[in-house]
Amino acid sequence: MTPRFINRLLRQWFRRDLTVWYDPAYRLPLAGLDGVVGMEPRRADFVAWYLVDKQVVPAEAIRTPEPISYNDLGRVHDASWLESLSTPIVLARVFAAAPEEIRVDPLLQTVRLACGGTLSAARWALQHQKATLNLLGGFHHAGRASGGGFCAVNDMVVALAALRAEGFTGHTAFIDLDAHPPDGTSDCVGNDANVWIGSISGCDWGPLDNVDETILAEGAGDEQYLDALDGMLSRMPRTDLAFVIAGGDVLANDRLGKLGLSLDGVRRRDMRVMDRLRGIPSVWIPGGGYHENAWRVLAGTAIALSLHTRQAISPKYDPLSRRYAAIAAGLAPKDLGNDDDSSSSDILEALGLGPSRKPRALGYYTAEGIEYALDRYGIFFQLRRLGYDPLQVEVDSTGAGDRMRVYGQSAGKKHLLIENVVEKKRIADHDVLYIHWLTLRHPLAQFTEKRPQLPGQEVPGLGMAREMSEIELRIAMRLGFAGIAFRPSWYHMAYAARSRFQFVDPRRQGRFLAMLRDLGHCPLLEVTLACADGRVRMNGERYSWEADEMVYLLDTPIAESAIATEEANRVRFTIESATAAT
């Protein structure tokens, strides 16, 4: 037996009965959150896909929640506050977005689904006397008549109030392990003698009289945190139900959190809490997380609950790539437009004996085929939630290559959302998918101080660059290309592609590596704007961004050459301040 087979058997034997609550609509319909606050909008998706792919839980253990009712929300929150949530300006303040970008109904659907998931999880936990996991929730900054920090309503206290209306009378513990204090939960609970709130955070927002609160110093690491956790858990009174916010923002270098835990430290945290709650029904929810590894924290919580192991998630595992590979495998050529009798149709059309053939991008994809694929990949689902419906694809040819466009309507106006121009081209002695142009447009959104205009942008983006990059990769693989190439017009485009792509010219690659080395401590936005404004210096001289070709080869990656290393060592980059430049 292979080690992989043995590992699979062990997981089957020792896996506990963990139920997970999730819906694709858990992704907030806000396109700019990852850039503004570092939030991974796909966190719940990534975790659900990973858990099933790696058999941490069976597919049937993923449950779909029902939206919470307004009657349930009204048991905790003031009617005036709930009414205010129907206005874009209030939701914009809660979710750190521009009012123009707020789509009230889809956003409230996400909030209500998450709250419904927490309530369903609590009912399940009490019925089965076990732990369960909801992949969105822990909205602990929502008070009775207030909200903020991405928390519009308090799902945990709302769930408890609904359980009490159904007859639950037991003691409840809120174990808040998010990096920020539970100010909203404190306000909602008040002086309830049957509720205990314990919190470990990395910032002091003032005293919370009804909270057993531990505030750690900025940067506190694993051992200091776990010592504080042991102390807090020892003070927790007897409880009949626990809500655990297994916050992902406790990681070192989290964008908004100030603690310094490692991924292993977070897993140890979860396992200690799980051991303390053995035999007590518990609902686990993710809270905040503003780090690229926040999804690994939440997936690790599920691993701890289901498998009770500290086995790390491979840093090479990419849930989006794995998911899209599986979807691509299920897309038949006939679904995408490549019918078997295409050659005979071409002959008939040339002889004037048949109807004109539909345009095909790269000789393969029809507009209908592209629509079908984008729907299967979930792109259309997210575009509709951003406010565009109906959606339409058009295919034609330009002087540069084949063009695919996605249009969407809003308020009776037709908007260009996606435009992609591609062709087959010979690069670095390989036939590759050459991307002349790829733009993702969200014309209903507006640029703000927190989400400024990037070089080359006419309107804000859709927040789907990773999805579209994976789709381009699947196109190249399906058509037998050796890889993908493009010419990044701006620094941020090359930066986003750096993990896979290299510049074809080794000296150009060396200069790019030097930029990453010398300017890596600066925010990406600052560097890309400095490049566009002519404020970057190379060896003291003004440097202009070089838009040369980058390539990603699927099977034979370009090795880092000695020439690139030599060039990287030769140059040094600095940024001149905007005031100095003027």
Could you tell me the end-to-end alpha-carbon distance of the chain, in angstroms, rounded to an integer? 69
Question: What's the confidence (pLDDT) of residue 87?
Answer: 97
Position 6 scores a pLDDT of 46
- DSSP single-letter state for residue 571: -
What is the spatial distance between Cα 500 and Cα 460, in angstroms, rounded to a whole number?
A: 25
Determine the pLDDT at residue 9.
45
For 344-374, the pLDDT digits (tens) are: 455 444 455 555 668 999 999 999 999 999 9
pLDDT number for residue 116: 98
Give the pLDDT of residue 213: 97
pLDDT of res. 34: 80
pLDDT number for residue 163 = 98
Q: Is 509 exposed, middle or buried (0-12, 13-18, 19+ CB in 10 A)?
A: buried
Contact 159, 311 (CB under 8 A): no
Q: Which long-range contacts (CB under 8 A, 24 or more apart) does 417-425 make?
A: 417/383, 417/388, 417/391, 417/441, 417/442, 417/443, 417/462, 418/462, 418/468, 420/468, 420/472, 422/361, 422/362, 422/472, 422/475, 423/362, 424/362, 424/479, 424/481, 425/485
Closest CA to 245 of 266, 218, 264: 266
Task: State which residues of the chain have pLDDT below 50.
Answer: 6, 9-10, 13-14, 341, 343-344, 347-350
The count of C-alpha atoms lying within 13 angstroms of the C-alpha of 380, restricted to the half-sphere facing its C-beta, is 16
pTM for the whole structure: 0.92
